[in-house]
Protein backbone atom coordinates (compact mmCIF):
# COMPACT_ATOMS: atom_id res chain seq x y z
CA UNK A 1 0.00 0.00 0.00
CA UNK A 2 1.52 3.34 -1.05
CA UNK A 3 2.14 6.22 1.36
CA UNK A 4 -0.24 8.54 -0.48
CA UNK A 5 -3.09 6.02 -0.20
CA UNK A 6 -2.60 5.48 3.53
CA UNK A 7 -2.37 9.18 4.34
CA UNK A 8 -5.28 10.12 2.07
CA UNK A 9 -7.45 7.35 3.51
CA UNK A 10 -6.70 8.56 7.05
CA UNK A 11 -7.47 12.16 6.09
CA UNK A 12 -10.75 11.33 4.32
CA UNK A 13 -12.11 8.89 6.90
CA UNK A 14 -10.69 10.30 10.12
CA UNK A 15 -9.42 6.86 11.08
CA UNK A 16 -6.10 5.72 12.47
CA UNK A 17 -4.06 3.88 9.82
CA UNK A 18 -1.35 1.49 10.98
CA UNK A 19 1.23 0.39 8.40
CA UNK A 20 3.04 -2.89 9.10
CA UNK A 21 6.75 -3.07 8.25
CA UNK A 22 6.67 -6.82 7.68
CA UNK A 23 9.66 -8.95 6.72
CA UNK A 24 10.26 -9.27 2.99
CA UNK A 25 11.09 -12.15 0.66
CA UNK A 26 13.32 -13.64 -0.54
CA UNK A 27 15.34 -13.17 2.65
CA UNK A 28 12.26 -13.99 4.72
CA UNK A 29 9.97 -16.41 2.93
CA UNK A 30 6.39 -17.48 3.57
CA UNK A 31 4.92 -17.33 6.19
CA UNK A 32 7.17 -14.68 7.79
CA UNK A 33 5.27 -11.66 6.42
CA UNK A 34 1.93 -13.14 7.43
CA UNK A 35 3.20 -13.85 10.93
CA UNK A 36 4.27 -10.21 11.23
CA UNK A 37 0.86 -9.04 10.06
CA UNK A 38 -0.93 -11.23 12.56
CA UNK A 39 1.37 -10.09 15.38
CA UNK A 40 0.61 -6.47 14.47
CA UNK A 41 -3.13 -7.15 14.46
CA UNK A 42 -2.92 -8.75 17.91
CA UNK A 43 -0.84 -5.83 19.21
CA UNK A 44 -3.30 -3.32 17.82
CA UNK A 45 -6.21 -5.12 19.46
CA UNK A 46 -4.35 -5.33 22.78
CA UNK A 47 -3.55 -1.59 22.77
CA UNK A 48 -6.82 -0.38 21.26
CA UNK A 49 -7.97 1.51 24.36
CA UNK A 50 -4.72 3.47 24.65
CA UNK A 51 -4.88 4.30 20.94
CA UNK A 52 -8.55 5.30 21.04
CA UNK A 53 -9.57 2.50 18.69
CA UNK A 54 -12.92 0.72 18.68
CA UNK A 55 -11.91 -2.95 18.71
CA UNK A 56 -15.08 -3.78 16.80
CA UNK A 57 -14.08 -1.52 13.90
CA UNK A 58 -10.60 -2.71 12.96
CA UNK A 59 -10.39 -3.39 9.22
CA UNK A 60 -7.45 -4.47 7.07
CA UNK A 61 -6.32 -3.50 3.59
CA UNK A 62 -3.59 -4.30 1.12
CA UNK A 63 -2.49 -3.87 -2.48
CA UNK A 64 -1.09 -6.65 -4.70
CA UNK A 65 1.14 -8.85 -2.49
CA UNK A 66 -0.21 -6.87 0.47
CA UNK A 67 -3.71 -7.90 -0.54
CA UNK A 68 -2.57 -11.52 -0.47
CA UNK A 69 -1.44 -10.98 3.13
CA UNK A 70 -4.69 -9.17 3.94
CA UNK A 71 -6.86 -12.06 2.76
CA UNK A 72 -4.65 -14.60 4.53
CA UNK A 73 -4.75 -12.50 7.70
CA UNK A 74 -8.54 -12.70 7.71
CA UNK A 75 -8.31 -16.49 7.46
CA UNK A 76 -5.84 -16.58 10.35
CA UNK A 77 -7.97 -14.35 12.55
CA UNK A 78 -11.04 -16.52 11.90
CA UNK A 79 -9.29 -19.82 12.47
CA UNK A 80 -7.31 -18.71 15.53
CA UNK A 81 -10.32 -17.15 17.24
CA UNK A 82 -9.51 -13.50 16.66
CA UNK A 83 -8.79 -10.70 16.89
CA UNK A 84 -12.00 -9.64 15.13
CA UNK A 85 -11.73 -7.88 11.76
CA UNK A 86 -14.61 -5.71 10.57
CA UNK A 87 -13.72 -5.56 6.86
CA UNK A 88 -11.09 -6.25 4.24
CA UNK A 89 -10.04 -4.18 1.23
CA UNK A 90 -8.16 -6.11 -1.45
CA UNK A 91 -6.64 -4.04 -4.26
CA UNK A 92 -5.31 -5.92 -7.32
CA UNK A 93 -4.94 -9.00 -5.11
CA UNK A 94 -2.69 -11.98 -5.75
CA UNK A 95 -4.80 -14.79 -4.34
CA UNK A 96 -3.79 -17.90 -6.29
CA UNK A 97 -0.05 -18.51 -6.40
CA UNK A 98 -0.58 -21.58 -8.57
CA UNK A 99 -1.23 -18.90 -11.23
CA UNK A 100 -4.38 -20.64 -12.47
CA UNK A 101 -6.58 -17.64 -13.23
CA UNK A 102 -7.48 -17.13 -16.93
CA UNK A 103 -6.18 -13.57 -16.86
CA UNK A 104 -2.66 -14.90 -16.23
CA UNK A 105 -2.53 -15.95 -19.88
CA UNK A 106 -4.97 -13.38 -21.28
CA UNK A 107 -3.01 -10.48 -19.77
CA UNK A 108 0.39 -12.18 -19.72
CA UNK A 109 2.13 -9.18 -21.31
CA UNK A 110 0.19 -6.42 -19.60
CA UNK A 111 1.94 -3.13 -18.79
CA UNK A 112 3.63 -2.69 -15.39
CA UNK A 113 3.18 -6.33 -14.37
CA UNK A 114 3.57 -9.40 -16.57
CA UNK A 115 2.66 -12.99 -15.84
CA UNK A 116 6.34 -13.84 -15.93
CA UNK A 117 7.02 -11.29 -13.19
CA UNK A 118 4.17 -12.65 -11.07
CA UNK A 119 5.68 -16.13 -11.38
CA UNK A 120 9.09 -14.85 -10.30
CA UNK A 121 7.66 -13.00 -7.30
CA UNK A 122 5.76 -16.12 -6.23
CA UNK A 123 8.96 -18.18 -6.37
CA UNK A 124 10.82 -15.62 -4.28
CA UNK A 125 8.02 -15.53 -1.71
CA UNK A 126 7.44 -19.28 -1.38
CA UNK A 127 10.79 -20.89 -2.00
CA UNK A 128 9.14 -24.30 -2.28
CA UNK A 129 6.64 -24.29 -5.20
CA UNK A 130 4.51 -26.89 -3.39
CA UNK A 131 3.54 -24.20 -0.87
CA UNK A 132 1.50 -22.44 -3.56
CA UNK A 133 -1.41 -24.72 -2.61
CA UNK A 134 -1.31 -23.68 1.04
CA UNK A 135 -4.46 -21.59 1.63
CA UNK A 136 -2.48 -19.04 3.62
CA UNK A 137 -0.30 -18.51 0.54
CA UNK A 138 -3.22 -18.79 -1.90
CA UNK A 139 -6.41 -17.76 -0.04
CA UNK A 140 -8.47 -18.50 -3.15
CA UNK A 141 -7.69 -22.19 -2.61
CA UNK A 142 -8.99 -22.28 0.98
CA UNK A 143 -11.59 -24.98 1.42
CA UNK A 144 -13.79 -22.82 3.66
CA UNK A 145 -14.34 -19.10 3.10
CA UNK A 146 -17.34 -18.69 5.39
CA UNK A 147 -17.44 -16.33 8.40
CA UNK A 148 -14.92 -13.92 6.90
CA UNK A 149 -15.19 -10.10 7.09
CA UNK A 150 -17.10 -8.17 4.40
CA UNK A 151 -14.82 -7.46 1.45
CA UNK A 152 -14.20 -4.73 -1.09
CA UNK A 153 -12.18 -6.09 -4.00
CA UNK A 154 -10.78 -3.73 -6.63
CA UNK A 155 -9.30 -5.19 -9.82
CA UNK A 156 -7.68 -3.65 -12.89
CA UNK A 157 -8.69 -4.58 -16.44
CA UNK A 158 -5.11 -4.97 -17.72
CA UNK A 159 -3.69 -7.05 -14.88
CA UNK A 160 -2.63 -10.72 -14.93
CA UNK A 161 -4.08 -10.92 -11.40
CA UNK A 162 -7.48 -9.53 -12.41
CA UNK A 163 -9.36 -12.83 -12.29
CA UNK A 164 -7.97 -13.73 -8.87
CA UNK A 165 -10.17 -10.95 -7.53
CA UNK A 166 -13.26 -11.99 -9.49
CA UNK A 167 -12.88 -15.65 -8.55
CA UNK A 168 -12.39 -14.78 -4.89
CA UNK A 169 -15.46 -12.56 -4.90
CA UNK A 170 -17.56 -15.39 -6.34
CA UNK A 171 -16.33 -17.82 -3.70
CA UNK A 172 -16.92 -15.34 -0.88
CA UNK A 173 -20.49 -14.74 -2.04
CA UNK A 174 -21.10 -18.49 -2.26
CA UNK A 175 -19.88 -18.76 1.34
CA UNK A 176 -22.32 -16.07 2.50
CA UNK A 177 -19.78 -13.25 2.86
CA UNK A 178 -20.80 -9.74 1.84
CA UNK A 179 -18.56 -8.62 -1.02
CA UNK A 180 -18.31 -5.82 -3.54
CA UNK A 181 -16.00 -6.13 -6.53
CA UNK A 182 -15.15 -3.32 -8.94
CA UNK A 183 -13.14 -3.64 -12.14
CA UNK A 184 -11.43 -0.44 -13.25
CA UNK A 185 -11.59 -0.29 -17.04
CA UNK A 186 -8.34 0.64 -18.75
CA UNK A 187 -6.30 0.33 -15.58
CA UNK A 188 -3.11 -1.74 -15.22
CA UNK A 189 -1.80 -3.40 -12.09
CA UNK A 190 -0.80 -0.73 -9.61
CA UNK A 191 -4.23 0.87 -9.67
CA UNK A 192 -3.60 2.92 -6.53
CA UNK A 193 0.06 3.68 -7.17
CA UNK A 194 -0.14 6.82 -9.31
CA UNK A 195 -2.26 9.30 -7.38
CA UNK A 196 -1.25 12.31 -9.44
CA UNK A 197 -1.44 10.64 -12.83
CA UNK A 198 -4.89 9.09 -13.05
CA UNK A 199 -8.34 9.82 -11.74
CA UNK A 200 -8.90 6.06 -11.48
CA UNK A 201 -6.55 5.96 -8.48
CA UNK A 202 -8.50 8.70 -6.76
CA UNK A 203 -11.81 7.06 -7.57
CA UNK A 204 -10.56 3.76 -6.14
CA UNK A 205 -9.56 5.58 -2.96
CA UNK A 206 -12.98 7.22 -2.76
CA UNK A 207 -14.65 3.82 -3.10
CA UNK A 208 -12.46 2.37 -0.34
CA UNK A 209 -13.32 5.27 1.97
CA UNK A 210 -17.02 4.76 1.31
CA UNK A 211 -16.70 1.02 1.96
CA UNK A 212 -15.16 1.69 5.37
CA UNK A 213 -18.21 3.75 6.29
CA UNK A 214 -20.94 1.64 4.64
CA UNK A 215 -19.94 -1.94 3.87
CA UNK A 216 -17.75 -2.61 6.89
CA UNK A 217 -19.80 -0.86 9.60
CA UNK A 218 -23.25 -2.32 9.03
Q: What is the pLDDT of residues 48-83, one digit of tens each?
A: 999 999 999 999 999 999 999 999 999 999 999 999
Catalytic residue list contains 195:
no
DSSP state of 162: H
Catalytic residue list contains 47:
no
218 is a domain residue: no
Question: Which among 189, 180, 109, 115 has a CA at the least distance from the CA of 151?
Answer: 180
Percent of the chain with pLDDT over 90: 84
Q: Calculate mean pLDDT across residues 71-99.
A: 97
Given the residues 63, 103, 138, 159, the one annotated as active site: 159
Q: Calculate mean pLDDT across residues 188-202.
A: 78
Catalytic residue list contains 159:
yes
176 is a domain residue: yes
11 is a domain residue: yes
125 is a domain residue: yes
Is 184 in contact with 135 (CB distance < 8 Å)?
no
Given the residues 59, 63, 138, 189, the one annotated as active site: 189
**Number of folded domains that form the chain:** 1
Q: Which residue range(s) make up the domain with 151?
A: 3-213
User: Which domain CATH number covers 186?
Assistant: 3.40.50.1820
Burial letters for 82-115: b for 16+ Cβ neighbours within 10 Å, e otherwise? ebebbbbbbbbbbbbbebebebbeebeebeebbb
- Cα separation, 105 vs 116, in Å, equals 10
Q: How confident is the model at residue 2 (pLDDT cuts 50, 70, 90)?
A: confident
Q: How confident is the model at residue 197 (pLDDT cuts 50, 70, 90)?
A: low
CA angle 69, 74, 76 (to 5 degrees): 90
- Cα separation, 38 vs 77, in Å, equals 8
Q: Number of helices (H) and strands (E) in the chain: give both, helices first.
A: 8, 4
Given the residues 59, 64, 101, 138, the one annotated as active site: 64
- Cα separation, 93 vs 60, in Å, equals 13
Amino acid sequence: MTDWWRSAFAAHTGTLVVSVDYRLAPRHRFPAALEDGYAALCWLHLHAVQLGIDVGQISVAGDSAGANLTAALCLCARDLGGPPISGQTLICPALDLTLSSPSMSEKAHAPLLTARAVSAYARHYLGDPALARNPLASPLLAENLSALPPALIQVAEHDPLRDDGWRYAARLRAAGVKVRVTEYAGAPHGLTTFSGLTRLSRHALKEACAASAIIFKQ
